[in-house]
Structure 1
């Protein structure tokens, strides 16, 4: 790995996978004054060539070739979940710092191997993009730490949307490969809940739902979670494209855009009209970098992002999100805290840079990602066995978290 000090602490990132996640990170890399995207790997030659032209960057058809590059200091692994283990091991072997998309792996045991690989190589590994990076979630935690509302007692995250009927690859609908809403989206919910509550969950009791035989994976779950200190939480997710919680979140969705529905159950109807999984795969591919349905993330309308409806109850007040920040319902008044327009991906890039440049341990490291993964597995196990599952790999939130700008 090249010496960052010799290059005025410039951090060069290579992206593994130019799908939706890889494309969404590019504006945040561009915003950071000391971070630059220099390479990408993937299978689509046309997409890679466009990327190379747009960013004057290298491109490769293999992850190993990308990680060999002297122009890359860190990699963002945005490949499918079932490939995370292979790709993290390659990046660690070549001593590249890592951001790996959630979930970290498909089992706690696999996560342990990846954490050990990163530690042996002396590199930093962050698991993201998780929604506890988002300014409103971090600000809620900050308010709790200040203690003005007393101790946190209840945390709820409820999300109803069309996830199961968005274009999916077959692997994304295979639970054994980390597919379904519990692995893919529960990992966000449990991350939010654990961050707000301090991290140390004690147990899980849950149910899951597979309600469409043509999409044979979890499309819904309901989980009751208890923290070691007695704080309780619920995580409700329903991705079957009927009611959407954007009706309760000011019409604002993930990432902060105002959602403009294409019509009732439009996602479900679109998927039902496709002939086969190949047609669905092609439709999803169009949403990746350079595709004819890709978003321009740099120009997207921005509000504070909502991952469903989050409501937090403390001893002396409640907190929920507003389009510009947070509504706080105190003992004597309701007031709004407005936050600067900083995305969670901006924070994630800053967390990686600070880890590398200042050797500052990241909050969202491998053990944090493993703890979220443990909750995902516990939800599935609890639903299958119809019993409470106790947790053993939880980690606490570091109290030295970054303050949120207002």
Structure 2
């Protein structure tokens, strides 16, 4: 049961980039407390204990034994998600798990089943569909003021494949590569805005660098049951960057540096060994020399590439202040508070599910449907044909800002 006064105590499992980036959102929520962390990295644990006066553990098993922890945020590698969700669920801890949910649909089924069996909430995030501009797009769509959705597009060009990577991030069979890791964000945005029910998929993926042997780009065409169409285009090979089209604002919200072109490719080429690359990755995690200061970063809404929604009576895209709506009679800006963040909404969705009994959108079945799109995209490319989807689920409730 949650702590007194309705406060939810959360422990973070894994203090890499994902775990570190969620800390400010947990701290900002008035009814959530950052209570613990687990990682094998001794230096990170010591810093975390000093910074937050919180419990620290070297394993998820030990963290989940703590009676003071109500929920866990699992920010560990994808191939560990199934086992870590099992441990947390059997300890009766509510769960947020990083995307993608798992590597296979069978594992996803096991995770959903064990969470339901133990009566705990299972939510998947951080998904960029939680971001306030995407949520606001959903509100406008649902209002009907622009008519029915006919097209949704998300195009993202960046340096993903050449950022410092651990070995499993470059192995498709372990959930690595842009189609699993980043397509999961794109498909989630598209499915949320389109209502969730994708009918079919046709995709082409590419591995363009043998030294990084996993998908580094994809072009995906999606058709919804109601006839709406969508494309998800991703290229992580560090040539053109979509920030040139998104007001110089990138994925985390910061303004793009002027020397961004080929910076990551040059850095990786200068790295002497896989161990050195892993060290660079570790240095980007909590307390590392290359870690971002998420708390003090520029306050801009993040652009996960270029997202454009076309309805019968107008188009919508992001703007630094919120959204631009291109209506039939006028073009206007819809301002959105910059105090809200997608990560805050992830935490709030868990809180409302646990404390208020509100059914979450991003539950296990939603995440399984998203994983199905990732898997079928890779399969479609290999087989060079359109494939139909079997496990899609509709958006369960009104899309809205939650904070």
Fold shared by both chains (TM-score > 0.5): yes
Matched, 1:340 2:320: no
Aligned counterparts of 1:125 and 1:361: Cα–Cα separation in 2: 11
1:60 corresponds in structure 2 to 57
Matched, 1:190 2:187: yes
Contact 2:345 2:402 in 1 (8 A): no
SS in 1 for 2:346: helix
Aligned counterparts of 2:372 and 2:12: Cα–Cα separation in 1: 27
CA apart distance, 1:136: 0.7
2:354 corresponds in structure 1 to 356
Contact 1:328 1:336 in 2 (8 A): yes
2:391 corresponds in structure 1 to 393
CA apart distance, 1:402: 2.8
Matched, 1:97 2:91: no
Matched, 1:331 2:321: no
Aligned counterparts of 1:205 and 1:261: Cα–Cα separation in 2: 36
Aligned counterparts of 1:103 and 1:403: Cα–Cα separation in 2: 23
Q: TM-score, normalised by structure 1?
A: 0.98
Matched, 1:258 2:255: yes
Matched, 1:223 2:198: no
Tell me the matched-pair count: 402
2:364 corresponds in structure 1 to 366
SS in 1 for 2:9: strand
Bigger drift between 230-239 and 65-74 goes to: 65-74
Matched, 1:76 2:90: no
Superposed CA deviations along residues 382-403 of structure 1, whole A, max 9, x for unmatched, are: 0000011100110111233334
Which of 369, 374, 377 pairs up with 2:375?
A: 377
Q: TM-score, normalised by structure 2?
A: 0.98
Unaligned runs of 5+ in 2: none
SS in 1 for 2:6: coil
Which of 137, 144, 147 pairs up with 1:147?
A: 144
What pairs up with 1:5-404 in 2 under 5 angstroms?
7-341=4-338, 342-403=340-401
CA apart distance, 1:58: 1.0
TM-aligned CA distance change 1:266 to 1:314, over 3 Å: same
Aligned counterparts of 1:199 and 1:257: Cα–Cα separation in 2: 30
Q: Cα RMSD between the aligned structures?
A: 1.0
SS in 2 for 1:298: coil
Contact 1:255 1:343 in 2 (8 A): no
Aligned counterparts of 1:256 and 1:166: Cα–Cα separation in 2: 18
Aligned counterparts of 1:114 and 1:250: Cα–Cα separation in 2: 40
After the TM superposition, list the runs of 4 or more consecutive aligned residues in structure 1 that deviate by more than 6 angstroms: none
Aligned counterparts of 2:42 and 2:25: Cα–Cα separation in 1: 24
SS in 2 for 1:328: strand
Aligned counterparts of 1:14 and 1:316: Cα–Cα separation in 2: 46
Contact 1:255 1:302 in 2 (8 A): no
SS in 1 for 2:67: coil
